[in-house]
Amino acid sequence: MTELPAKSMREAVDAIYRAESRRILATLIRLLGDFELAEDALHEAFRAALEKWPVEGVPDNPRAWLVSTGRFKAIDALRRRSFLDAAETEITERLYPADHNPDPLAGEEIEDDRLRLIFTCCHPALAAEARVALTLREVCGLTTEEIARAFLTAPSTLAQRIVRAKAKIRDARIPYQVPSPSELPNRLDTVLQVVYLVFNEGYSASSGESLTRADLSGEAIRLGRLLLELLPEPEVMGLLALMLLQESRRPARVTADGDLILLEDQDRLLWNREQIAEGTELVTRAFATRRVGSYTIQAAIAATHAVAVNAGATDWPRIVDLYDLLLRLEPSPVVELNRAVAVAMRDGPAAGLELIDAILSRGDLEEYHLAHAARADLCRRLGRFNEARASYERALDLVKQEPERRFLERRIAELNGGKGAMSISGVAKRPMSGG
């Protein structure tokens, strides 16, 4: 037991809340079998800590104290009700099992609880937006208001989403467990999708927008780290690496006015070297497992860009190889487009243009502005300015985001001013590896 004066006691409890509340919640959900009950129990437990610890001192194992206090508070609350419905009877049975369980607070079980919580929040039977909201709420501990602000949604809409998801978990009995090995690859995919979606939501926010949105990227990286600690699968390494490598370019990717700066035009001295080193090391570890997935390959592409001192010094043959690998794993016209741009850098604009025209002639990316922007760029480098202008204009018709619109308008203005020769390529790299 540790004795502390009142003010620092408050601070000590706050610190424990920040560090441990998600772990404690995860365990309480397992013990109580119900999200709402567990959340109430968590708050009751911390309230009790604020009352008792100043008198009795901080227990040696605060987490265990909070879990068992929370559990007893929940039992109390259930007992106080005059009538137990079917669900509550069931919970009571779980709390007082006929054959006594081994210690429910054993260390390993508690570590697994955090993984259980992640898999339950990211269950494919929940709507995609609900998975994201629930994960940020329950796993990351963000408030409903914070999540709503970050996703530009009304708090009431978001609260509704979370309530509905919790009701489905309870009523359809979505289990609180780590999936079996045969299910794991599929289910892990869904988890990684949620994490990457959170990351991109924050990454696509331009500097003019509220900082809260950018914070989402940091939250996604924290989630990635937690996941890696609990489940060191190669694709978890790959996704964390991809996020770190993209995040490393954040300071260089937009101007003060919020205009996009292409990868090859970015001031590489602004890139975060620490994140690049960590990301690159993770890519190497993931490749060493010989179980390489699409996040790992995308991260490897980003890592190849990251080590080049400038666009010209980039190992383009390696990038084309990586896109070949990615295409074999996950064929898509967007990946083909990115490969075509890399081919243009390796073999010259004519080779890239031939590939892009083939993709466009299939009609696959006819409505995708970056395909036309990439085509325009290659035409310009070949001196075919009229074709370039036509393709930029087509891209401009299709573009939706304001910074990208401004970028295309600048390019057209440059062409009209006869400055076509100073262009460089890479417009189409943004969705996979650029920005």
Partner 1 sequence: MKYMLLVYSDEGAWSDFERDQCFLDSVQLARDLATRGQFLGANPLQSIATATSVRVRDGKRMVTDGPFAETREQLGGYFLVEANDLDEAIAIAGRIPGVKKGTIEVRPVLEIPGLPTT
Q: How far apart are CA 251 and CA 249, in angstroms?
A: 6
Q: Footprint of partner 1 on residues 84-103 (CB under 8 A)?
A: 86
Q: CB under 8 A: which stretch of 52-60, 143-151, 166-174, 339-347 binds partner 1?
A: 166-174
Q: Minimum distance from CB of 87 to partner 1 (Å)?
A: 11
Q: How far apart are CA 323 and CA 20, in angstroms?
A: 42
Q: Which two tokens stand for residue 40?
A: 């109430």
Q: Footprint of partner 1 on residues 97-136 (CB under 8 A)?
A: 123, 125
Q: At a CB cut-off of 8 Å and minimum separation 6, what does 429 contact?
A: 262, 263, 338, 341, 435
Give the one residue of 183, 209, 265, 330 binding partner 1; rule: CB under 8 A. Answer: 183
DSSP structural state of residue 139: I
CA angle 225, 228, 231 (to 5 degrees): 150
Q: CB under 8 A: which stretch of 48-56, 97-105, 175-183, 211-219 binds partner 1?
A: 175-183
Q: Minimum distance from CB of 173 to partner 1 (Å)?
A: 5
Binding mask 338-357 for partner 1 (x = CB under 8 A): --------------------
Q: Footprint of partner 1 on residues 208-227 (CB under 8 A)?
A: none
**105-128 b/e with 16+ CB inside 10 Å = b?**
eeeebbebbbbbbbbbbbbeebee
DSSP structural state of residue 401: S
Instruction: Rank residues 179 and 238 by Cβ distance to partner 1 and give the closer one.
Output: 179
Give the one residue of 173, 331, 361, 400 binding partner 1; rule: CB under 8 A. Answer: 173
Distances (CA, A) of 260 to 204, 250, 368, 411: 11, 11, 18, 12
Q: Minimum distance from CB of 177 to partner 1 (Å)?
A: 8
**193-214 b/e with 16+ CB inside 10 Å = b?**
bbbbbbbebbbbbbbeeeebbb
Instruction: Rank residues 174 and 262 by Cβ distance to partner 1 and give the closer one.
Output: 174
Give the one residue of 9, 45, 136, 174 binding partner 1; rule: CB under 8 A. Answer: 174
Q: Minimum distance from CB of 228 to partner 1 (Å)?
A: 24
DSSP structural state of residue 15: H
Instruction: Rank residues 171 and 267 by Cβ distance to partner 1 and give the closer one.
Output: 171
Q: How far apart are CA 339 and CA 398, in angstroms?
A: 22
Q: Minimum distance from CB of 119 to partner 1 (Å)?
A: 10
Q: Which two tokens stand for residue 191?
A: 């988890």
Which of 384, 394, 375 has the alpha carbon at shortest distance from 415? 384
Binding mask 33-72 for partner 1 (x = CB under 8 A): ----------------------------------------
Q: Within a 10 A sphere around the Cβ of 228, how many other Cβ atoms?
A: 17
Please report whether residue 154 would count as binding partner 1 according to CB under 8 A.
Answer: no
Please report whether residue 185 would count as binding partner 1 according to CB under 8 A.
Answer: no
Instruction: Rank residues 32 and 148 by Cβ distance to partner 1 and give the closer one.
Output: 32
Please report whether residue 181 would count as binding partner 1 according to CB under 8 A.
Answer: no
Q: Which two tokens stand for residue 46?
A: 């911390």
Instruction: Rank residues 183 and 393 by Cβ distance to partner 1 and give the closer one.
Output: 183
Instruction: Rank residues 177 and 401 by Cβ distance to partner 1 and give the closer one.
Output: 177
Please report whether residue 179 would count as binding partner 1 according to CB under 8 A.
Answer: yes
CA angle 127, 132, 138 (to 5 degrees): 115
One-letter-per-residue 3-state SS of 184-222: HHHHHHHHHHHHHHHHHHHHCCCCCCCHHHHHHHHHHHH
Most distant CA atoms of the chain, gap in Å = 84
Please report whether residue 177 would count as binding partner 1 according to CB under 8 A.
Answer: yes
Give the one residue of 11, 36, 143, 175 binding partner 1; rule: CB under 8 A. Answer: 175
Q: Minimum distance from CB of 75 to partner 1 (Å)?
A: 23
Instruction: Rank residues 149 and 164 by Cβ distance to partner 1 and give the closer one.
Output: 164
Q: Minimum distance from CB of 194 to partner 1 (Å)?
A: 18
Q: Which two tokens stand for residue 256?
A: 């003060």
Footprint on this chain of partner 1 (rule: CB under 8 A): 86, 123, 125, 171-175, 177, 179, 183
